[in-house]
């Protein structure tokens, strides 16, 4: 019997400062309950792989311009996704979530945004984004991400 895992999709460009927070989370979350995928800037390339995993649920992590203090973490609902700025993907996250629902209709998908401080090419992750990433990774390991405030 295969034990279903949760899937974390980290989205963003590691070369653009805090835009790399999603891939950072994907590359640094190590836990037996989780399967992580660094999607970089083309998350649509991984929808089929996610469907084959038949996960318990999907968490999508990306830098998001929400008008908050750098490093702020929020759950972004489908109702507010259009109000948030995402810039480095080849597909909108609204469409990505729809594709994921088609591939995996029985698993919930949650979008979590981290407010960036810098998205300048060549900048490393800011200390605010690093602290947020580690806080988020800890919440994912403890299965307590539902306690993250909703935007």
Q: Mean pLDDT in runs of 10 for the chain (151 residues)?
A: 82 94 98 95 87 91 95 91 68 80 85 93 95 98 95 92
The residue behind tokens 């800890």 is: 138
Where does 39-84 have alpha helices with state H?
Answer: 47-53
The pLDDT assigned to 86 comes to 66
Asked if 78 and 97 count as a contact pair (C-beta separation under 8 A), the reply is yes
pLDDT at position 90: 60
Query: What was the pLDDT predicted at 2?
Result: 59
- Where helices occur in 21-147 by DSSP H, the ranges are 21-28, 47-53, 93-103, 127-141
pTM of the entire predicted model: 0.92
Residue 3's pLDDT is 65
Domains of the chain with CATH codes? 6-13+29-147 (3.40.50.1450)
pLDDT of residue 93: 80
Predicted local distance difference test score (pLDDT) of residue 54: 86
Burial class (CB in 10 A: 0-12, 13-18, 19+), 75: middle
Confidence (pLDDT) at 73: 98
pLDDT at 1: 44
Q: Output b/e per residue, 109-127; b: 16+ Cβ within 10 A.
A: bbbbbbbbbbbeeebebbe
Distance of alpha carbon 3 from the chain centroid: 22
């Amino acid at each position: 019997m295969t034990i279903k895992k949760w899937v974390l999709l980290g989205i963003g460009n590691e070369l653009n400062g805090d835009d790399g927070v999603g891939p950072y989370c994907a590359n640094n979350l190590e836990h037996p309950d989780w399967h992580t995928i660094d999607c970089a800037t083309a998350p649509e390339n991984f929808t089929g792989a996610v469907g084959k995993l038949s996960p318990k649920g999907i968490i999508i992590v990306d830098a998001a311009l929400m008008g908050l203090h750098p490093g702020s973490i929020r759950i972004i609902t489908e109702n507010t996704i259009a109000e948030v700025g995402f810039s480095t993907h080849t597909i909108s996250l609204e469409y990505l979530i729809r594709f994921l629902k088609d591939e995996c209709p029985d698993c919930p998908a949650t979008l979590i945004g981290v407010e960036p401080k810098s998205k300048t090419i060549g900048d490393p992750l800011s200390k605010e984004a690093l602290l947020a990433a580690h806080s988020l990774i800890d919440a994912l390991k403890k299965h307590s991400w539902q306690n993250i405030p909703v935007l």
